[in-house]
Structure 1
Amino acid sequence: MIKVLVVDDHTLFRQGIIHLFAQMEDIDVVGQAGSGAEAVTLAERLAPDVIVMDIMMKGTDGIAAAKLMREHGVRAAIVLVTMYREWHFIERARKEAHVDGYVLKQDAFEDLVYAVRAVHRGGSFYSPTLASELGLTDESGATLPALTERERQILTLIATGYSSHAIAERLFLSIKTIETHR
């Protein structure tokens, strides 16, 4: 079970995320906060595995809160959820606060779930809609095609360390299909 702390100063958004996470069998929301300062306190007390946090909040913003958490020894992976897609926000989050994921509020909820699972496994996750800004383009500058839902499932399981046989059994696919995606 992945223990998650949800942080956003907009109550409706925060409660919506919590409600959606409640439908996931492997995610347990252990706390919620409406400010960066409150998030730092709760992160130290609750020891979540993953913190899902907005960037722009009154008082201590999400990046500053993440930086404080790191300074206070909080070991949780941090995923920032924001409407800001500008490169300077991403760089500041990575360099100053060492966040593990960056998801845009315009992304699908499934992207946030993938982000939480990926950072919990020690990986990182950046919004698929930021592909071109992060250099995921071909020589012509065209964005590489997005993965299908099934391809994402397979690649996630591969990255987690599952064998082709185990993935095939879990997803009811042939081993050959899994090997094609490897």
Structure 2
Amino acid sequence: MTTPPIRVLIADDQMMVRQGFTVLLNSEPDIEVVGQAVDGHDAIAQVSGLMPDVVLMDIRMPGLGGIEAARRITAPADSTVRVLVLTTFDLDEYVYEALRAGASGFLLKDASADELAHAVRVVAAGEALLSPNLTKRLIGEYSRVTRTSLRVPHKDRVGALTERETEVLSLIAQGLSNAEIAGQLVLAEQTVKTHVGRILYKLGLRDRTQAAVFAYETGLVRPSGRMA
């Protein structure tokens, strides 16, 4: 049976960006661009009608920006749409806010065609685009600011996790894939997947991106990547 292509909606106020990404993604056999949106309001409206798997969302758009649009798109408990935010700057403070709003990762607008397609596939598969060091640095930088406002001891927040699940969570926050976590902890990859699922369920989190942000904000992992 043929697997249906990954359905993508591109939201960006620049027509050339939308059209360029459309051409690049439509050249991939397993990806189909089903729509283009000019701002956040347009993206939300099109998501309800087109039901894409992934939304490529620019952060800075007139009217409703990408952060609030991402929050509204991912807020429903039954939402399966993944948001991949686009940015021009790798250390844009708004990127961190987008991750907190429910985005599954971010991608620089000057990414290559291969990087773009890979990012879409990773996010569509339910993974977080957190491997690049830039992403980890950004999360660590801005979580130091937000962590103080939470005033919740990390032991209280992660108390429901087993010792092994806590180890897995800390490695997720460092950007490791399931295969890399399996190698480091000497576990089967399927076992790691099971741990990840239990972590998300116990903490009431949507995906690995939220798990990574949670780990930093609760102080479980320091910005350096080490466990507290």
Short-chain TM bin? 0.5 to 0.7
CA distance in 2, matches of 1:132, 1:78: 18
Residues 44-77 of structure 1: CA distance to partner in whole angstroms, max 9, x if unpaired? 1111011111110001111110111123554211
Give the gaps of 5 or more residues in structure 1: 136-154, 156-160, 162-182
Q: Which of residues 94, 97, 107 is equivalent to 2:99? A: 94
What are the Cα deviations for residues 19-60 of structure 1, in whole angstroms up to 9, with x where unaligned? Answer: 111110000111110111000000111110111111100011
State, as a whole percentage, how many aligned pairs show the same letter.
Answer: 35
The match for 2:83 among 58, 61, 78 is: 78
SS of the counterpart of 2:34? strand
Residue 158 of structure 1: aligned partner: none
Partner of residue 50, structure 1: 54
Determine whether 1:26 maps to 2:38.
no
User: Is residue 12 of structure 1 aligned with residue 16 of structure 2?
Assistant: yes
Counterpart Cα distance in 1 of 2:119 and 2:25: 12
Question: Which structure 2 residue ranges, 5 or more long, are not aligned?
Answer: 140-178, 180-188, 190-228
2:114 is aligned with 1:110: yes
1:38 equivalenced with 2:42 (yes/no): yes
Distance, in Å, in 1 between the alignment partners of 2:137 and 2:130 is 10
**Which has the larger helix fraction?**
2
Q: Offset of 1:106 from its aligned partner?
A: 2.6
Code of the residue aligned with 2:54 in structure 1: it is: V
1:16/1:112 CA distance change after superposition, 3 Å: same
> Cα distance, 1:118 vs. partner?
0.5
1:121 Cα offset (Å): 0.9
How many residues are matched? 140
Contact 1:8 1:54 survives alignment (8 Å): yes
**What is the CA–CA distance in structure 1 between the aligned matches of 2:135 and 2:60, rounded to whole Å?**
22
Q: Cα offset for 1:134? A: 5.3
2:40 and 2:7 map into 1 onto residues whose CA distance is 18
Q: Which one scores higher on RCO, CA 8 angstroms, separation ≥ 6?
A: 2
Scaled by the length of structure 1, the TM-score of the pair is 0.68
2:36 counterpart letter in structure 1: Q
Partner residue in 2 for 1:122: 126
By how many angstroms is 1:131 displaced?
Answer: 5.7
Query: 2:142 is matched with which residue?
Result: none
Q: Which has the higher strand share?
A: 1
Give 1:64's aligned residue.
68
User: 1:104 touches 1:127 (CA, 8 Å); kept in 2?
Assistant: no
Closer/same/farther in 2, CA of residues 32 and 134 from structure 1, 3 Å limit: same
Structural mapping, 1:124-139, within 5 Å = 124-126=128-130, 128=132, 130=134, 133=137
What secondary structure is seen at the aligned counterpart in 2 of 1:125? coil
Instruction: Give secondary structure in 1 for the equivalent of 2:85.
Output: strand
**Alignment check: 8 A CA contact 2:59 2:95 kept:** no
